[in-house]
Amino acid sequence: MWYLIVILVLLAGIFFTNKIHAQIKNESEKELKTKKKSSVESDTLTPLYTKEQIEEKLDYLCKTPPPDELSFGAMCYSVIVTAVQEKYTYVCPVCGEKTIYRRRKMEDDKWGGGSFWALESGLNACRREVEKVKGINIRLDESAFCKHCSPKIEKHEICLLINIQGESDTTRVCDVDYEDIVIIQEFLSGQLMHKGGNDSKLPLVKNADRIKQLLGFAFKEEKAE
Ligand SMILES: [Zn+2]
């Protein structure tokens, strides 16, 4: 008789373990579905703007008086002393090849020390900032820094590739820096002020010509101010 009880207990055990497993599986599937749904939703939060919509935004920027909250930034600020790097190893995100740059060589060359700085700090800042731009197709073109991709290049500069929804042309603008990407981001998100270094706040409309140039819009005769 006792073995019948043992078998019953074992069967009950198997039944409950299976039920719990099925429940866990169900819940994790539900979680996965919610995750998938929310990532799709966040992708569609900022639609891509058409050329007409960007023109309307430019119009709004040029015609709307900026808020009265100018700030020229702190006059005194702490200087962060960082160790001067002599060498920078650039790893190309396209081909994966390494290109080594030496500060002294660049300073002696026609590129100037600025280019070494652009490589060392500017490039990473641009990479981070470009991720924040919503509403247009935008990406960095770093090919000028890769000796493998651009063996004959003379000028080492950061370029931007911009494509506006509905347009077949992609605009390639070179010699861009971090500030350029910041003003594009501010413009597309509908801001009227530009936040610069040292917490300065200035009317974004002052950069209207540069914004037009970066987005591939022809220059207009009238002054933005
Ligand atoms: Zn490359």
Residue 10 in any domain: the answer is yes
Asked if 41 and 55 sit in the same domain, the reply is: no
- CA nearest neighbour of 99 among 30, 146, 137: 146
Asked if 38 and 57 sit in the same domain, the reply is: no
Asked if 100 and 186 sit in the same domain, the reply is: yes
pLDDT tens, position by position, 28-74? 555 545 444 444 444 445 679 999 999 999 999 999 998 887 777 76
First to last CA, the chain: 98
Distance 99 CA to ligand 1 centre (A): 9
For 143, residues 6+ apart whose C-beta sits below 8 A from its C-beta are: 92, 94, 149, 150, 153, 159
Residue 208 in any domain: the answer is yes
Distance 177 CA to ligand 1 centre (A): 20
CA gap 187, 223 in Å, rounded = 17
Residue 222 in any domain: the answer is no
Residue 163 in any domain: the answer is yes
The pLDDT of residue 71:
78
Asked if 149 and 94 sit in the same domain, the reply is: yes
Distance 97 CA to ligand 1 centre (A): 6
Residue 151 in any domain: the answer is yes
Expressed as residue numbers, the domain containing 30 is 1-45
Distance 148 CA to ligand 1 centre (A): 5
Is the CB of residue 208 less than 8 Å from the CB of residue 217?
A: no
The pLDDT of residue 116:
72
Residue 124 in any domain: the answer is yes
Asked if 182 and 92 sit in the same domain, the reply is: yes
Distance 147 CA to ligand 1 centre (A): 7
Distance 96 CA to ligand 1 centre (A): 6
Residue 144 in any domain: the answer is yes
Q: How many domains, in total, are found in the chain? A: 2
Q: What is the pLDDT along the chain (225 residues), one digit of tens a residue?
A: 666 665 666 565 555 555 555 555 555 555 545 444 444 444 445 679 999 999 999 999 999 998 887 777 766 655 555 667 788 899 999 999 999 988 777 666 655 455 677 677 788 899 999 999 999 999 999 999 899 999 988 788 889 999 999 999 899 999 899 999 999 999 999 999 999 877 889 999 999 999 999 998 865 444 444
Distance 98 CA to ligand 1 centre (A): 8
Ramachandran assignment for 96, one of left (phi > 0), alpha (psi -120 to 50 degrees), beta (any other): left
Asked if 19 and 60 sit in the same domain, the reply is: no
Q: How far is CA 56 from CA 40, 165, 218, in A?
A: 27, 15, 15
Distance 169 CA to ligand 1 centre (A): 24
Tokens of 211: 């914004």
Distance 113 CA to ligand 1 centre (A): 22
Distance 95 CA to ligand 1 centre (A): 4
